[in-house]
A and B are shown apart, each in its own frame.
Chain A
Amino acid sequence: MLTFNAFALPWAIVALALFALAAVIYRRQKASHVAVLFCIIIALVGIWFSGFAVMFSMDDAAVASIAARVGLAAVCFLPAAIYDFTATALRLRSSRMLLVRAAWIAAAVFAGVCLFTSGMVGEIARHPWGFYPIAGPATIPFLLYFAGALGTQIFDGVSEWRRTTDPQRRRRVAKLMISFAVAYIAAVDWLPMFGVPTRPIAFVPVIAFIVVAAGAIRRHRFQPITAARAAREILDTMADALFVIDASGSIRVTNHAVRELFGYCDSDLIGRAIDSLEYAGGDETISRTLRDLARRGPIRDQERVLRHKNGHAVDVSVSISPVGERDAQEGAVVIARDIRARKHAEEELRQTMRSLAQSNRELEDFAYVASHDLQEPLRKIQAFGDLLKSKHAAALDAQARDYIDRMQSAANRMQILINDLLAFSRVTTKAQPFVPVALGQIAAEVVKDLETRAHDSGGQITVGPMPVIDADPLQMRQLLQNLAANALKFHRDGVPPLVDIRGEVENGRCRITVSDNGIGFEEKYAERVFTMFERLHARTKYEGTGIGLAICRKIAERHGGEIRAHGRPGEGAAFVVTLPVRHEQR
């Protein structure tokens, strides 16, 4: 029955190659829907070719006819399979669902007609090279269906190519279209079915297609990228060390970073208890905490010390999450982050704070001693000046006494200056930690302190509602006292000074305003008043060294706030201190 026909050989070989290719692709990429469809296409062509190879090798027309039907039935499914494949590869499947299903149903119908009737394979003709079917009446409708599927595929491919701007995707689509175009050359094999005297040569374009397709399949993976796909790469790219441990605390999975951080390689660790990596013994080992995971939930950023292979300690921050169901915990994922740099930085910070505190102490000691020793000669000037005036009054005329007065006055100014400088340096060196301070109470104390001065000038200080803020109580006292004393001092001749202190809170900031009806100042000096030793008036007119406001600014800035001055000459001035209400505790 079966005779050797050289013509059948290429068909048989290609069929086998196709089946092999389909098997390989299926095994490697069966997770991919696209790859599976591709395998189906190839398998269908394989069935086609094997059917025809048998047909060519037959002597018996009846058997040849059956083989032809089987082969052509496979061909019936091709348009549907190719269409489905194209739609999936171009990611149009979901929108083309209806068409795809219709195509498969039509294919099944045609296949049925082909197998069980003589609709497709009418008769079988004998050619010099072998049997070949003659087209039946159902062939034309099938060809129309085939053309339709082909047309839709071309349309979708071209519009996708036009739509995409990504050059890589365009290349892919083009390659896909071209490789199928090559395969479609095999359609010339319909011609002999209609009596055209040509030989079927489908295996040629199909071989070309296989070569292109195999290359494409190998290079392009049609699978989407998911976390599961990239799992191994994720593990090995992470900078943090990762262990997966089982319920008893034994290490089952490690990643690349484990080697870098701890010096162990996989084989050292798999099966080993994770507790053996702890640096110091203790109760709260990692495996102990596993038990609590179900109850407490995952652990985040717990500081631990683990041991490197060569013995030294590695400071890490550990996060542990359970693996498995709540009551059927299978194990846990332990991620350890190297925090040695962070701990080092923390230690350095502590060190810096310590030396800063030390530095402040030294500065204070120095400032105190310096001011004390600087005062001593000034005292002498005062004292001997007094002695001169009292004991040798007779020898001194008015001018001599005047000179002595000026000397003593100069010495006095220097004494005040030294005290002011000491006060200025103490804003830093004697700074106290912030506590909640009732500004209203401080303001009341300041008013009490300045009572005499206010009374002397016939003036008055009013205090409005004041909030409670985090501050250094002593410095707040200094601040308010300086501002209020200034307000009293710079009053207009004949106009009793009216000073008002009030505070309000807005957006977490407190605004303290000390305003007066005194001599005021020009707006252009608003910044200058805060400069140390800067004065807007002659020394003789208003006493003071000009450091009070510099101290106020330093206090405001130390509290993370600011101070601004507003003035109108001849009308008054207002000083506005803005401070944050809350300070974070260290």
Chain B
Amino acid sequence: MKNVDAARPIVILLADDDEEDRMLAADALEASRVVNDLRFVEDGEELLDYLYHRGRYAEASSSPTPGLILLDLNMPRKDGREALREIKADSDLRRIPVVVLTTSKAEEDIYRTYDLGANSFITKPVSFEGLVAVMRDIGRYWIEIVELPPDHIG
């Protein structure tokens, strides 16, 4: 188990264009009792604005860098695939684990997202209970089991 001393809540950034899906995700995370600080963005543009502290996210303190990104693929303006490519190409952002959480189960999508450097690919469960279980497992894995990279070294 990791060092619980540094147990300040990890910021989870969820990118999903569907309002209800965001709502369900929040409910599921809450129901699974994963300690977290959940932020939302609605599409790829907003996601990158947040990460680069641009636009309405210019204030760094109110938009802390996430320790985990949950990324939907099909979004307007800039979709998840495009955003993923940019994140993993950026020397500062590429260390942030990206878990793709999408309704798609198409093989091409799975292949391409891993190809672009996504850390995991999860197909959204059909039922709410399923979603709760997945959120619980995501939390347990990425926050409790996995060592996330520090902000800087040295």
Q: Does A434 contact B (CB under 8 A)?
A: no
For the complex formed, measure the closest distance between the CB of A414 and the CB atoms of chain B, giving whole angstroms: 12
Whether B103 is near chain A, meaning CB under 8 Å from some CB there, is yes
Q: Which B residues are CB-close (under 8 A) to A385?
A: 128
**CB–CB B27/A375 < 8 A:** no
A521 at the B interface (CB under 8 A):
no
Chain B residues with CB under 8 Å of A384's CB are 20, 128
**Contact among A372, A382, A387 with B27 in the assembled complex (CB-CB below 8 Å):** A387
Contacts of B27 in A (CB 8 A): 387, 391
CA distance A384 to B31 in the complex (A): 14
A415 CB–B CB distance under 8 Å: yes
Pick from A372, A375, A376, A386: contact of B127, CB below 8 A.
A386
Please measure, in the bound complex, the distance between the C-alpha atom of A375 and the C-alpha atom of B124, giving whole angstroms. Answer: 12
Query: Roughly how many angstroms separate A385 CA and B130 CA in the complex, as a whole number?
Result: 13
Find chain A residues with CB under 8 A from B128 CB.
382-387, 390
Q: Which residue of A lies closest to B31 (CB)?
A: A390
Indicate if the CB atoms of B103 and A375 lie closer than 8 Å. Answer: yes
Query: Taking the complex as formed, is B60 at the interface, i.e. its CB lies under 8 A from any CB of chain A?
Result: no
A380 touching B20, Cβ below 8 Å? yes
Q: Are B24 and A383 in contact (CB under 8 A)?
A: yes
Q: Which residues of B contact A415 (CB under 8 A)?
A: 126
Q: Which residues of B contact A391 (CB under 8 A)?
A: 27
Q: Is there an interface contact between A382 and B127, defined as CB atoms closer than 8 Å?
A: yes
Q: Does A368 contact B (CB under 8 A)?
A: yes
A379 at the binding interface (Cβ < 8 Å): yes
Q: Is B129 an interface residue (CB 8 A)?
A: yes
> Taking A380-B20, A383-B131, A387-B27 as contacts, is the C-beta distance between A372 and B126 under 8 angstroms?
no
Beta-carbon contacts under 8 Å, A356-392 to B: 368, 372, 375-376, 379-380, 382-387, 390-391
Q: Given the complex of chains A and B, what is the CA–CA distance between A391 and B30 in angstroms? A: 12
In B9-38, which residues have CB < 8 Å from any A CB? 18, 20, 24, 27, 31
Known A387-B24, A387-B27; judge A379-B104 contact (CB<8 A).
Answer: no
B6 at interface by CB-CB < 8 Å: no
Residues B46-71 near A (CB distance < 8 A) = none
The smallest beta-carbon distance between B14 and chain A, in angstroms, is 16
In the complex formed, the residue of B with least CB distance to A377 is B20
Chain A: interface residue count, which band? Answer: 10 to 19
The CA of A145 and the CA of B24, in the complex, are separated in Å by 128
From A376, A382, A386, A387, contact of B103 by CB (8 A): A376
Q: A375-B103, A376-B103 are in contact. Are A382 and B126 (CB under 8 A)?
A: yes
- Closest B residue, CB atoms, query A380: B20
Residue interface mask B126-153, A partner, CB < 8 A = 1: 1111010000000000000000000000
B7 at the interface (CB under 8 A from A): no
CB contact between A372 and one of B31, B104, B131 (< 8 Å): that residue: B104
Q: Is B106 an interface residue (CB 8 A)?
A: yes
Q: Which of A379, A380, A385, A391 has the most CB of B within 10 A?
A: A379
A434 vs B131: C-alpha distance in the bound complex, in angstroms?
Answer: 41
Cα-based distance from A383 to B27 in the complex (angstroms): 11
Q: State whether A379 touches B106 (Cβ < 8 A).
A: no
Min CB distance, A332 to chain B, in Å? 58
A379 to B128, CA, bound (A): 9
Expressed in whole angstroms, the minimum distance between the Cβ of B132 and any Cβ of chain A is 9
Give Cα A372 to B104, complex, Å.
8
Inter-chain CA distance A387–B129, complex, in Å, is 9
Rounded to whole angstroms, the CA-CA distance of A382 and B106 in the bound complex is: 22
Cβ–Cβ < 8 Å partners of A375 in chain B: 103
Q: What residues on B are CB-neighbors of A382 within 8 Å?
A: 126-128
Whether A386 contacts B129 by the Cβ 8 Å rule is: yes
Q: Is the Cβ of B129 less than 8 Å from the Cβ of A372?
A: no
Q: When chains A and B are docked, how far (Å) is the Cα of A425 from the Cα of B127?
A: 26
Please report the C-alpha to C-alpha distance between residue A387 and residue B20 in the assembled complex, in whole angstroms. 12
A103 to B128, CA, bound (A): 119
Q: B106 to chain A: which residues have CB within 8 Å? A: 368
A-side contacts of B104, CB under 8 Å: 372
In the complex, the chain A residue whose C-beta lies closest to that of B106 is: A368
Q: How near does chain B come to A50, taking the closest CB pair, in angstroms?
A: 108
Using CB atoms, name the residue of chain B closest to A388: B128
Q: How far is the CA of A386 from the CA of B124 in the complex (A)?
A: 15
A77 to chain B, nearest CB (A): 102
Instruction: Say how far B100's CB is from chain A's closest CB, in angstroms.
Output: 16
In the bound complex, how far is the Cα of B128 from the Cα of A67, in angstroms?
Answer: 136
**Contact status A372-B103, CB under 8 Å:** yes
* Chain B positions within 8 Å of A387 at CB level: 24, 27, 128
Which of B106, B126, B128: most chain A CB closer than 10 A?
B128
Which residues 403-461 of A sit at the B interface, judged by CB distance below 8 A?
415
Expressed in whole angstroms, the Cα–Cα distance for A387 and B126 within the complex equals 13
Minimal beta-carbon separation of A581 from chain B (angstroms): 31
Query: A391 CA to B20 CA in the complex, in Å?
Result: 16
Q: Give Cα A380 to B18, complex, Å.
A: 11
Given A387-B24, A387-B27, A379:B129 Cβ within 8 A: no
Alpha-carbon gap, A376 to B17, bound state (A): 13
- Residue among A376, A385, A387 with most chain B CB within 10 A: A387
Chain B residues whose CB sits within 8 angstroms of the CB of A372 once the complex forms = 103-104
A386's nearest neighbour on chain B, judged by CB, is B128
Closest Cβ of chain B: how far from A403's Cβ, in Å? 17
Which single residue of chain A is at the shortest CB-CB distance from B27?
A387
Chain B residues with CB under 8 Å of A368's CB are 106
Contacts of A376 in B (CB 8 A): 18, 103
Query: Would you give the shortest CB distance from B130 to chain A, in whole angstroms?
Result: 9
Interface string of B94-135 (1 = CB under 8 A from A): 000000000110100000000000000000101111010000
Task: Chain A residues near B131: list those with CB within 8 A.
Answer: 383
Q: CA separation between A124 and B13, bound complex, in Å?
A: 148
Q: Which 3 A-B pairs have the closest CB atoms?
A: A386-B128, A383-B128, A383-B24
A-B contact pairs, 21 of them (CB 8 A): A372-B103, A372-B104, A376-B18, A376-B103, A379-B103, A379-B124, A380-B20, A382-B126, A382-B127, A383-B20, A383-B127, A383-B128, A383-B131, A384-B20, A386-B129, A387-B24, A387-B27, A390-B31, A390-B128, A390-B129, A415-B126
8 other contacts beyond A375-B103, A384-B128, A386-B128, with CB at 8 A cut-off?
A376-B18, A379-B103, A382-B127, A382-B128, A383-B131, A386-B127, A387-B27, A415-B126
